[in-house]
Amino acid sequence: MTSRTDLQQALNSVAPSRRTVVKAAAATAALGAPLAAAPAHAADAPAFHHGVASGDPLPDGVLLWTRVTPAPDAVPGSGKGPDTEVRWEIAEDKGFSRVVSRGSTTARAASDHTVKADVRGLRQATTYYFRFSVGDASPVHSPVGRTRTTPAHDASAHGVRFGVVSCANWEAGYFSAYRHLAARTELDAVLHLGDYLYEYPSGEYPRAENVVRQHEPRHEIVTLADYRTRHGVHKTDRDAQAMHATHPVIAIWDDHEFADNAWQGGAGNHSPETEGAWAERVAAAKQAYFEWMPVRPSTEGTVYRRVRFGKLADLHLLDLRSFRSQQAGTGSGAVDDPDRTLTGRAQLDWLKSGLASSDAAWKLVGTSVMISPVAFGALPAHLLKPLAKLLGLPQEGIAINVDQWDGYTDDRRELISHLRDNDIRNTVFLTGDIHMAWANDVPVRAATYPLSPSAATEFVVTSVSSDNIDDLLGVAPHTVSLAAATTLKAANRHVKWLDMDSHGYGVLDVTAERSQMDYYALSDRTDPDATSSWVRSYRTLSGTQEVERVREPVR
């Protein structure tokens, strides 16, 4: 374990090497602090209370983010505070003796005093440091952030490594997964697969007696001010600040950035009679999301887009909430209706075209909900109820997960047929949402698998803190769920592994030969200093379309 004395010695080195700087950054993150703290200033001076972030890296650029509080009353969502000029600079060294680019922008109340700088002209596959400042005579500086550009589009990258996370519920626990990812300075980026925050009122999910720390605002978020306030609270979390200050984050949204079980025209957790028009709520949620997240909006104000890592990997990111049809009734034949869609026609065509034209060794697809089919065997009643809650099923247990790709089978059939018909290999789906970890083959026909082939593979990561089956049952981990996992695997032979109990994160390591997911679990989501331990590793070898267990994680 790195001590604070060791850390201070590294930071105080007269001429630190690149390796020393990186080690110091890792040590800082591991100790639960931002990469570098801003100096103290007068209480009424402008301040950077919400840290810094970067995202959506390119070979020649990256998106930088921060939020300035220009006055004490200019809190997120308040609409208060003057417009304020904010300067930014990006350098090759943490001491900013080799600044390569600088500029300025304005933090306005109209954008909740958040600012973004889309910096270009950088070198490919290079680590940079960045910061923001306000004022001239005695400038107030933000914490220092660290980021990294991607390899050139035609570069033969040797490897790429991502942290992978999903489902961070503020009230359910601490975000220790972010801290452990911040400590891993070898990562190229962190992929966040949705449910960065939750819309519920305090005490609804989880129940009030299990709340670790309370939401702000306490009520369900509906208005622009509400969404801004909750995003602002999440950006004060020490572990979130450490992760954002250490790695570029590539994020997509799922339903809880809006409301539970969201679809194009509404949500399961939205009542127009009391909460207003759905379109207004979505517009507010999206505005706050793009203000507060280091994400470039793509066409139609959505998050589907691509990020390329040389010739090694194309990452296709999906928006599976903005264009989907309403969820079908469970057990209804409407799940097979070709007029119903999860992706929307334009997005599905975009994905198919991108997969077919990609010359990358690996085609990674970031999807917020699981594409692998799930059928139920005979589960005991006490396990069926919490599983139904997690998977969106009625308690009687009909085997259709209508909020996932299972509820939109024609889109899935079309995509899998496209992979098979065009001989598109090395497609790996990366998924969150259901608070469990899975390693799956994606079968062409689940009923006859493994006699019929697999078209792709899928790695699903568990939640950072949101309730899993043991939390819903109120029992100790791994005490009752093994029977459920065994039954599910028996009914779904394409499921190679299932962990229903852990909270944590994944680390995906991609080389020309294989894509490997290492799964890590936290010791206790309610402990702000929770430790992390490796659980399992699975990989898919180039050309195989199947996952296999690996006995140790990538080092």
Annotate 441-495 with DSSP letters as a single string: EEESSGGGTTTSPEEEEEEE---SSS--HHHHHT--TTSSHHHHHHHHHHH-TTE
Q: In angstroms, rounded to a whole number, what is the distance separating the alpha carbons of residues 332 and 408?
A: 11
SS in 3 state form for 420-451? HHCCCCCEEEEECCCCCEEEEEEECCHHHCCC
The confidence score (pLDDT) of residue 398 equals 47
The confidence score (pLDDT) of residue 164 equals 98
Burial of 22 (0-12, 13-18, 19+ CB in 10 A): middle
Q: Which residue range(s) make up the domain with 13?
A: 1-31
Domain match, 295 and 402 both? yes
Domain match, 193 and 231 both? yes
- Residues 4-29 have pLDDT tens digits of 333 233 323 323 232 222 333 333 33
Domain match, 27 and 53 both? no
Domain match, 203 and 96 both? no
The confidence score (pLDDT) of residue 506 equals 98
Band (pLDDT 50/70/90 cuts) for residue 317 is very high
Q: In angstroms, rounded to a whole number, what is the distance separating the alpha carbons of residues 122 and 148?
A: 10
Band (pLDDT 50/70/90 cuts) for residue 1 is very low
419: its two tokens: 């992979």
Do residues 236 and 287 make contact, with C-beta atoms less than 8 angstroms apart?
no
Domain match, 186 and 222 both? yes
Domain match, 51 and 5 both? no
Whether 519 is covered by a domain: the verdict is: yes
- Residues 480-490 have pLDDT tens digits of 778 888 888 98
Question: Between these two residues, 415 and 33, which has the higher pLDDT value?
Answer: 415
pTM: 0.90
Whether 555 is covered by a domain: the verdict is: no
The confidence score (pLDDT) of residue 21 equals 27
Of residues 450, 466, 413, 418, the one with CA closest to residue 546: 450
The confidence score (pLDDT) of residue 487 equals 85
Mean pLDDT of 207-220: 97
Last residue of a domain, one of 118, 148, 178: 148
The confidence score (pLDDT) of residue 482 equals 81
Task: Output the domain CATH number for residue 97.
Answer: 2.60.40.380
With a cut of 60, say whether residue 530 has pLDDT above it.
Answer: yes
Domain match, 65 and 19 both? no
Domain match, 24 and 135 both? no
Mean pLDDT of 82-100: 98
Q: In angstroms, rounded to a whole number, what is the distance separating the alpha carbons of residues 270 and 258?
A: 9
Mean pLDDT of 216-229: 98
Domain match, 142 and 233 both? no
The confidence score (pLDDT) of residue 38 equals 52
- Which residues share a beta bridge with 80? none
Domain match, 82 and 27 both? no
- Residues 385-416 have pLDDT tens digits of 676 677 665 443 344 589 999 999 999 999 99
Band (pLDDT 50/70/90 cuts) for residue 298 is confident
Beta strands in 339-449 (DSSP E): 362-367, 427-431, 437-443
CA distances from 336 to 16, 263, 369 (A): 61, 17, 17
Task: Output the domain CATH number for residue 452.
Answer: 3.60.21.70
With a cut of 90, say whether residue 127 has pLDDT above it.
Answer: yes
* Torsion sign over Cα 149, 56, 532, 144: positive
Whether 356 is covered by a domain: the verdict is: yes
The secondary structure of residue 19, as a DSSP letter, is H
Band (pLDDT 50/70/90 cuts) for residue 299 is confident
Domain match, 98 and 189 both? no
Q: In angstroms, rounded to a whole number, what is the distance separating the alpha carbons of residues 160 and 507?
A: 11
Whether 388 is covered by a domain: the verdict is: yes
- Which residues share a beta bridge with 47? 69
With a cut of 70, say whether residue 284 has pLDDT above it.
Answer: yes
Question: How many domains does the chain contain in total?
Answer: 3
- Residues 404-447 have pLDDT tens digits of 999 999 999 999 999 999 999 999 999 999 999 999 999 999 98
Find tokens 């390899």 and name the residue: 151
The confidence score (pLDDT) of residue 375 equals 84
The confidence score (pLDDT) of residue 555 equals 84
Domain match, 190 and 125 both? no
Of residues 454, 459, 458, the one with CA closest to residue 424: 454
Whether 80 is covered by a domain: the verdict is: yes
Whether 211 is covered by a domain: the verdict is: yes
The confidence score (pLDDT) of residue 40 equals 57
With a cut of 80, say whether residue 61 has pLDDT above it.
Answer: yes
The confidence score (pLDDT) of residue 42 equals 64
Mean pLDDT of 239-268: 98
Characterize 103-137 residue by residue with b for buried, 16 or more Cβ atoms within 10 angstroms of its Cβ, and e for exposed.
eebebeeebbbbbbbebeebebbebbbbbbbbeee
Last residue of a domain, one of 100, 123, 148: 148
The confidence score (pLDDT) of residue 144 equals 98
Band (pLDDT 50/70/90 cuts) for residue 474 is confident
Do residues 107 and 80 make contact, with C-beta atoms less than 8 angstroms apart?
no
Whether 38 is covered by a domain: the verdict is: no
The confidence score (pLDDT) of residue 382 equals 62
Whether 166 is covered by a domain: the verdict is: yes
Characterize 220-242 residue by residue with b for buried, 16 or more Cβ atoms within 10 angstroms of its Cβ, and e for exposed.
bbbbbbbbbbbbbbbbebbbbbb
- Residues 360-392 have pLDDT tens digits of 999 999 999 999 999 876 555 566 667 667 766
Of residues 50, 53, 281, the one with CA closest to residue 147: 53
Name the least confident of 33-42, 121-130, 253-262, 416-425: 33-42
